[in-house]
C-alpha cells in the first residue's frame, strides 16, 4: 500500500478496495518499523489517527465525506500548531507545548478528511540546512543513512522518501522544502509568498516563511495545494486571489515553453556530477519541444549575505516572545527576573538559534540598522528586479536546487558558512517571494539523488506543476525508493 500515490490511495478507499483504517495502520506499521532508524517523526499520533480513521470510514460509508483528501493519511512539520498535539519546533524551548488550536493548513486538512499520522522532525525553529540542529536528534537520509536529509524540512523529506506517509507539509524560508526534496528524491513546492496562510505556523522569518506540500509526485502536490491554498483573513499577508484547480492543467502540452537557464547557477561552485544530471534533464525538456534560453540574474551572488541579515533580524524579533514568562521553557529556581530571562533562553535554545538571534539583534541595533538591515532590504529589491526582467524573456527558470548531493552527517557542522552556501540557488527565489519547486531528475555518480529547481512567475504554481507532471510522465525517477525502505 505504501507505494500507492496519494490519488491512488484516495481512489482505493472510495472504491472500497481498502478502508481508511487499513491505510492508516499500514503507515503506522511502517513508522514503527523504520522511524527508530530515520528519526523522521518527533511525535506519532497513533491513537488519535486510529480514532480519526474510524470516524472517517463511517462518514465515507454514509456519504457525508468525499473529496481529494478524504481518508488520506498525512504528516505535518512540527511547527504547525495541531490542537491537543505536542508542537515542539524541534526545540527544548517548546518540548512540552500542547497546541490549543489548529494552524490554518492543519484545520483545512482535517476538514477535508485527512488522517494525521504525526509531526515531522526538523531543524530547530526551521534554522538549518541539514536537519542536524533538532533538539530531538538529527534525521537520517533514507538513501544513505550516514548522510543528512537536508533541512529544515528534512524529517518530512525522509518521511516521503521512505514512504512513512504519502504527503506532508513543510515550510520554506530560504530553501527548506526544495533542498531536502533534492537530497531525498521527492517532489516539493514552495508557493508564492502569501498563497497559503501562515496562521498557526510558528514563525522564523515572517517575510520569507511559506508553507508547501512535499510528496512523491507533482500530481500529489497539486491535489494538496488545492486543499490548503486561499485567503485567510487571520493572516494579513494572505493574498485575496482566486485559487485555480491545480490538477486541471497537469496534462497541458509543454511544447513551445520558454525555459531560462541562469548562467550564474551553472558557474563555479556547482558540483560537476550534479551539473551533468541537471544538463541531461534540460536536454530532455528541449527534446519535448521546450525552448531553452540563457538568462542572467546578476545580483544572485548577493542573496546569501542578504538572507543572513534579513532572516536573523526577523528571527530575533519573532523569538523574543520565548522568554520563560510569556511562552516557552522556564528555568528552575531563578534568582531574579534577569536570571529568569537569561537562563530560560540559554537552556531552551540550541546553538544555531542563539547564533542567529545574536546576528539579528546586532543588525537591528541602533547605529547598525542602516548599514545592515536597510541595505540588505535594498539589495533584496535588486534581486527581485532581476527575476522580473528574466520573466520578460522566458516563462520559467530552471537550474540546480543545490550545489551538491547530500553530504555526510557532521561534515559541515563546524563550518556555518559552508552550510549556508547549500542554499545558494534557492535563497534568491525566497527573497523575491516567487514560487519554486524541486522534483527528481536522476542520480549523481555517487549514487545519491539530484533534484532540479523550477522557478515560476508570481502565482504560476499551476504552470510549474504542469511542467513537473509532464516530466514525471516520461521518466520514473520520482517512483524510485531506497532499497532498504522499498
Phi, psi of 42 (to 5 degrees): -90, -45
- Measuring CA to CA, which residue among 350, 349, 377, 352 is closest to residue 363? 377
Question: 332 an active-site residue?
Answer: no
Gap between the Cα atoms of 372 and 280, Å rounded:
40
Catalytic residue among 130, 134, 176, 229: 176
Residues 117/43, Cβ–Cβ less than 8 Å: no
Gap between the Cα atoms of 34 and 81, Å rounded:
25
Gap between the Cα atoms of 91 and 255, Å rounded:
48
Question: 152 an active-site residue?
Answer: yes
Q: Find cell 532581476 and name the residue.
A: 386
Catalytic residue among 5, 77, 229, 430: 77
Gap between the Cα atoms of 52 and 50, Å rounded:
5
Q: Is the peptide bond before 152 cis (omega within 30 degrees of 0)?
A: yes
DSSP 194-218: TSS--TTBPPSSTTT-EEEEEESSH
Residues 95/70, Cβ–Cβ less than 8 Å: no
3-state SS, 92-154, equals HHHCCCECCCCCHHHHHHHHCCCEEEEEECCCHHHCCCCCCCCCCCCCCECCECCECCCCCCH
Phi, psi of 433 (to 5 degrees): 75, 15
Please, where are the H alpha helices in 365-460?
A: 375-390, 416-420, 427-432
Question: 253 an active-site residue?
Answer: no
- Going by the DSSP 8-state scheme, the letter that residue 233 receives in this structure is T
Tell how far CA 70 is from the center of its chain.
Answer: 23
Gap between the Cα atoms of 471 and 455, Å rounded:
15
Q: Find cell 500548531 and name the residue.
A: 81
Gap between the Cα atoms of 361 and 66, Å rounded:
49
Torsion 67-177-194-358 (CA) sign: positive
Buried b (16+ CB within 10 A) or exposed e, 224-251: bbbbbbbebeebeebbeeebeebbeebe
Catalytic residue among 152, 153, 300, 401: 152
Q: Which residues are catalytic?
A: 77, 152, 176
Amino acid at each position: 500500500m505504501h507505494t500507492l500515490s496519494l490519488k491512488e490511495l484516495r481512489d482505493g478507499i472510495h472504491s472500497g478496495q481498502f478502508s481508511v483504517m487499513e491505510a492508516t495502520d499500514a503507515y503506522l506499521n511502517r513508522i514503527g518499523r523504520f522511524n527508530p532508524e530515520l528519526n523522521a517523526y518527533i511525535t506519532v499520533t497513533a491513537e488519535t489517527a486510529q480514532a480519526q480513521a474510524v470516524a472517517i470510514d463511517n462518514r465515507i460509508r454514509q456519504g457525508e465525506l468525499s473529496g481529494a483528501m478524504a481518508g488520506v493519511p498525512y504528516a505535518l512539520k512540527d511547527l504547525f500548531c495541531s490542537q491537543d498535539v505536542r508542537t515542539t519546533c524541534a526545540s527544548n524551548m517548546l518540548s512540552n507545548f500542547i497546541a490549543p488550536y489548529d494552524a490554518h493548513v492543519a484545520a483545512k486538512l482535517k476538514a477535508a478528511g485527512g488522517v494525521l499520522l504525526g509531526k515531522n522532525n526538523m531543524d530547530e525553529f526551521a534554522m538549518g540546512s541539514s536537519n542536524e540542529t533538532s533538539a530531538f536528534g538529527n534525521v537520517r537520509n533514507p538513501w544513505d543513512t550516514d548522510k543528512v536529509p537536508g533541512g529544515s524540512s528534512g524529517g518530512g523529506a525522509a518521511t516521503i522518501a521512505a514512504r512513512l506517509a504519502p504527503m506532508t507539509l513543510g515550510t520554506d524560508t530560504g530553501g527548506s522544502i526544495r533542498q531536502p526534496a533534492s537530497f531525498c528524491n521527492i517532489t516539493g513546492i514552495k508557493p508564492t509568498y502569501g498563497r497559503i496562510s501562515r496562521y498557526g505556523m510558528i514563525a522564523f522569518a515572517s517575510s520569507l516563511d511559506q508553507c508547501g506540500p512535499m510528496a512523491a509526485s507533482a500530481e500529489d502536490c497539486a491535489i494538496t495545494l488545492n486543499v490548503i491554498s486561499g485567503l485567510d483573513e487571520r493572516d494579513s499577508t494572505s493574498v485575496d486571489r482566486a485559487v485555480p484547480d491545480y490538477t486541471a492543467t497537469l496534462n497541458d502540452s509543454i511544447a513551445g515553453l520558454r525555459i531560462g537557464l541562469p548562467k550564474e547557477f551553472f558557474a563555479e561552485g556547482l558540483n560537476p556530477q550534479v551539473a551533468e544530471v541537471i544538463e541531461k534533464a534540460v536536454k530532455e525538456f528541449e527534446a519535448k519541444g521546450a525552448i531553452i534560453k540563457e538568462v542572467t540574474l546578476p545580483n544572485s551572488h548577493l542573496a546569501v549575505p542578504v538572507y543572513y541579515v534579513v532572516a536573523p533580524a526577523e528571527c530575533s524579533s519573532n523569538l523574543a516572545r520565548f522568554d520563560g514568562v510569556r511562552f516557552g521553557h522556564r528555568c528552575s529556581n531563578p534568582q531574579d527576573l534577569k536570571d529568569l530571562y537569561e537562563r530560560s533562553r540559554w537552556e531552551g535554545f540550541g546553538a544555531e538559534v542563539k547564533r542567529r538571534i545574536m546576528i539579528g539583534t546586532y543588525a537591528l541595533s541602533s547605529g547598525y540598522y542602516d548599514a545592515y538591515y536597510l541595505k540588505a532590504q535594498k539589495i533584496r529589491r535588486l534581486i527581485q528586479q532581476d527575476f522580473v526582467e528574466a520573466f520578460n524573456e522566458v516563462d520559467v527558470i530552471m537550474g540546480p536546487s543545490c550545489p551538491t548531493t547530500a553530504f555526510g552527517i557532521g561534515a559541515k557542522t563546524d563550518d556555518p558558512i559552508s552550510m549556508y552556501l547549500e542554499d545558494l540557488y534557492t535563497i534568491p527565489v525566497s527573497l523575491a517571494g516567487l514560487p519554486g519547486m524541486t522534483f527528481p531528475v536522476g542520480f549523481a555518480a555517487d549514487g545519491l539523488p539530484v533534484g532540479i529547481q523550477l522557478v515560476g512567475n508570481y502565482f504560476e504554481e499551476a504552470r510549474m506543476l504542469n511542467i513537473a507532471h509532464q516530466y514525471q510522465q516520461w521518466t520514473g525517477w520520482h517512483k524510485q525508493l531506497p532499497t532498504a525502505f522499498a
